[in-house]
Structures are given as C-alpha cells and as structure tokens.
Chain A
C-alpha cells in the first residue's frame, strides 16, 4: 500500500501553487487522490475584543470585510487548484474514489487551520505544507507542528518552488535517533519508488539508538539499496550541512526526522527542524 490520499491545505496566497504542484508531483508517482482543502476562518473572528462596545454597524462592516477577504482568498485558491489539476492531468472528482491516475477534489471548510488539519490529517497518508510565510496569518506553522507531533502522519514541506521531480533521488538525514527512524519508516512508500537513495550520516551528541547498518538492513528488506555519506565535522549547523549535501548531490527530496530533540532544546539552541523549515531549498518529508 503506497500513498493513496494526499491532503493539501490552501490559504489563497501565491504559495498555494507550490503546494499543489508538489502534491500533484507526488500523486503522479503513486496514482493518488489529492484533497485540496481551503480553510476559511470564521468571519466573526474579525470582531476585535475591545473595552468599548462596538456598534452593530461597525461589527457588521468588520465581518463583511473579513467575509469579502475570505471569498477573494478562496477564489484564488480554487483557481490555483484548477490550474494545477489541468497541468497535471488530474481528474476532478466529486467524492474520493480509487482509480488509476491522479484524482483530485477542492473543498472549503470553516474553522482554524490547526484544528481542521488535526481532524483531517488522520484520514490522509501524508500532508503537504507550503513554505511558511514570516507572518503566517493562516497559522500554517502551528498546524504543521501539530500534525507532525500529534497526528502520526508524515508531512511534506515544500521548497520555494514547484519541483521538477520529486522522490527520484532521495537523501535521508540519519542520526540514529527516534525521529529519524520514524521518518525512515514513514518514507518507505516514497523510497520504494526512488531511483537512488542515500543516507547522510550525522553524528549525534546523545546516544544514537540505531546504527546506520540497521537502517540500511531495514531498507533492504523493502527492496531499497542505499548508499551513504558522512557529515563528519559540520562546518555549519547540521541543517545547513544537510541542505548543502542535498544540493551538491542533486537530490530532489530530503527525508529527515522532525523535532527529534525536545522543543525546549530546539528553542534554546536554535533547532535543526526550525532552520530546515525556514530555509527549505528542497522538499522535505518529515515524521516524528
């Protein structure tokens, strides 16, 4: 069983095109169904909480303005979806069904992005996120952290552009710890279809649970032969080294554990995951 359903949250910005292109690229390899979901915040949230009561007219104006903004955003999202579906020859369906070839559906739901994704992610095999905006009005980043750490599904974080290929030449960041193992297991459906797979061995300060040999053995049992390269003395941070190694090696996907160290540690020392998510030059498949 490979990847059957890919969930893509949309928010009406230019980044939707990148997320959709990446999702369809993945769907193509697996004959999957793409569920493009625009999350519509509740317009009543535009009403500010103030000391002075606002007149009904002002409240209505604010809600209407929010409504219009959301309508415009959903229109942009729907257009981005139609364009991407046409480009990738995806068949648009009214309800999910299993067929050969890519199928897709666009829908709109109301609510908070993190809550909606928390409910929807368990129904999908993977969730695709666009690169994050600095302001992140639609709260995609908290949703990403929640799906990664609480929903038990892998996430695919896009780079700054639609990839030309996805999952043909894969680099796996490996430090032998638990998150890396979860990412490896989660990535199996993608790795099984890759042309070449390589581990980037990273030294871990605290004890690694799983030597590279075990990871390679596990992959071999799934019919995947992997090479490896060692990042011995990182000149920069681990994250930068991984991205550089992937870039030099011409890889089109990086598989890496997300938030493998405690959030507190990452907060203090400027974590690998946060660096990767804010400097994504290559799509990344992550699990925790």
Chain B
C-alpha cells in the first residue's frame, strides 16, 4: 500500500487542533492529503432524551443550541487547519487533490459518528485518531469500526516529525501479520525496526518465525527481542517496553473489537486506548 489519503476525524472538541497537527505531521512524511472529517449527529436528533415529551419551543431551543455548538466547532476546526498549515507548511484545498506539498481539506458528515467515520475510512489509507477524553465511548466505537473495515488506525496524543525507531508487537497472530503488512510504508522509512516477540503459553501458530522472512523479502532490516508478558494488561506491558527502548511507534494487531477486544487475553482495554504511552499503529 501507499499512503495517499489520511482521514482525520474531529468532533468539535478542543483536542481537534492537536489531532489535525498530528495528521499533517504524518502527511508530510508521505506527501499525502489530509481529509479532516467533522462527524456529528444531526442537530435535530441530538436532543436530550429525558423521557417526557418536550414542548415545541424547548425542542426548538435545543436544536438551535446544537446548531450553534456545531457552527462554533466548525470555525474552531477551520482555525486549527489554518494554524497547522501556517506552522507545518500545508495548503488548505476545497476538495481532496494531489499537489507537490501536503494538502488538507475538510468535510462535514451528519449521522451516527462511528458509521460516518467508517464510511469515510473505506476509501482512505490511514485513519488518525487522538484519544478523546470527552466522549470516550464514541471514540472507542469509531476505532473499532475502522479496524473492522480493515483500515489501519494510528492512535497518538502527539506524533514526531519522523518515525525512526519502530517496534512491532509480535504474537504470531494474523492480526499482528496484517498490522505489519499495512505498516510497510512506515517500516520502509525507519532506521530501526525491532520485533518484540510476546511469549504466551498457548500460542502454536504456523507463522512462527515467518515475520522475519516477511521483512527480509521486503528488504527491511530488523532486530528481534523476546519478552515475557506478565500481568493482566499485556498491551500496556508491550507499549511500556517499546517506550523504554526509545521507539517512536508501536505496530500491533488489534486483537478483535469491542467487548471481544477487551476480554480476549492480550486485548487492548479501553483504558489502554485512552492512554497510550507512545503512538500506536493498529490493524485487525
């Protein structure tokens, strides 16, 4: 794959500025386009459901309030885009187009947020998320649906200008294999690639050791480390280890989605997704 289009979902919160900056930083590495997507509910539907019939004027006031919030969010997003362009050298364009430098466009999509994001993700190469403290369930649902449609997610609070040292969390699963396959554009550009083999008692998968052959045929030099994961949060242990080794990015399989993701041994908890110690590249 090549990275030509990066989807950056935003939700009108104050974290959008950082989300957009992250997406532009990554776009610079690949000379890609950033498609910012402001996904929100229809103002007429985002009226609080309190179990009693609302009077027409109360309903109207609620819808107006929602529209005002959306409109303010939209102008914040616009400012954030201009700021990112100014500091990082991108150009705002009306609709996605390819130029010499990095371009960025914005679109608004009204509907149930995870569905809207999923639809846009299918014709994108990468979706960049920033952990969202305001509405964590929406954020987790969005990550899950993107992973289900087999698009990779890059989850980070902040990103560096280049990903020089990449760690791969390897547990011989097909999810990890798919993550490495999709992460190729990042791996090609790294100075150091480290395979961190996670030893678990019950894995007996065919692709033991094949990850090295996979990287060799694609010309990616790499080191290999084995670590034993103790404790109940394997994903966190892996991420902490990668961080301690100075990695800028951790590539890992998504281990299922939703409740399956949380309950499966090795699954990433919602807690972990909200608080990653380093940027994660996840696929499923």
Interface of A toward B, CB cutoff 8 Å: 1-2, 4-5, 33, 95-98, 119, 122-123, 125, 152, 178, 181-182, 184-185, 188-189, 192, 209-210, 214-215, 217-218, 220-223
Contacts and interface: CB of A to CB of B under 8 A. Distances in A.
Nearest to A181: B122
A217 B1 contact: no
Contacts of B280: none
Contacts, number: 86
A187 to B, nearest CB: 11
A217 B122 contact: no
Given A122-B181, A181-B123, 5 more contacts: A1-B2, A97-B216, A123-B214, A178-B122, A222-B2
A256 to B, nearest CB: 16
A69 B216 CA distance: 35
A178 B150 CA distance: 11
Q: Which 3 A-B pairs have the closest CB atoms?
A: A98-B219, A96-B217, A221-B4
A123 B213 contact: yes
Interface in B107-126: 119, 122-125
B228 interface: no
Nearest to B217: A96
B217 A5 contact: yes
Contacts of B122: 178, 181-182, 185, 209-210
B189 to A, nearest CB: 10
B185 A1 contact: yes
A119 B177 CA distance: 11
Given A209-B122, A210-B122, A223 B98 contact: yes
Nearest to A221: B4
12 contacts: A33-B217, A95-B216, A98-B218, A119-B206, A119-B207, A122-B177, A125-B181, A192-B2, A214-B123, A217-B96, A217-B97, A218-B123
Contact of B218 (A1, A178, A189): A1
B123 A184 contact: yes
Contact of B217 (A97, A181, A192, A222): A97
A122 B98 contact: no
Interface in B78-122: 95-98, 119, 122
B130 interface: no
B184 interface: yes
A181 B125 CA distance: 12
Interface string B1-33: 110110000000000000000000000000011
B1 A221 contact: no
Given A123-B177, A220-B96, A221-B5, A185 B217 contact: no
Contacts of A222: 2, 4-5, 98
Nearest to A4: B218
B1 to A, nearest CB: 6
Contacts of A210: 119, 122-123
A96 B76 CA distance: 51
A220 B218 CA distance: 26
A147 to B, nearest CB: 12
A152 B217 contact: no
A185 B218 contact: no
B42 interface: no
B135 to A, nearest CB: 25
B233 interface: no
A209 B96 CA distance: 18
B178 interface: yes
A152 to B, nearest CB: 6
B188 A1 contact: yes
Contacts of A184: 123
B258 to A, nearest CB: 19
B210 interface: yes
A184 B1 CA distance: 11
B157 interface: no
A185 B98 CA distance: 17
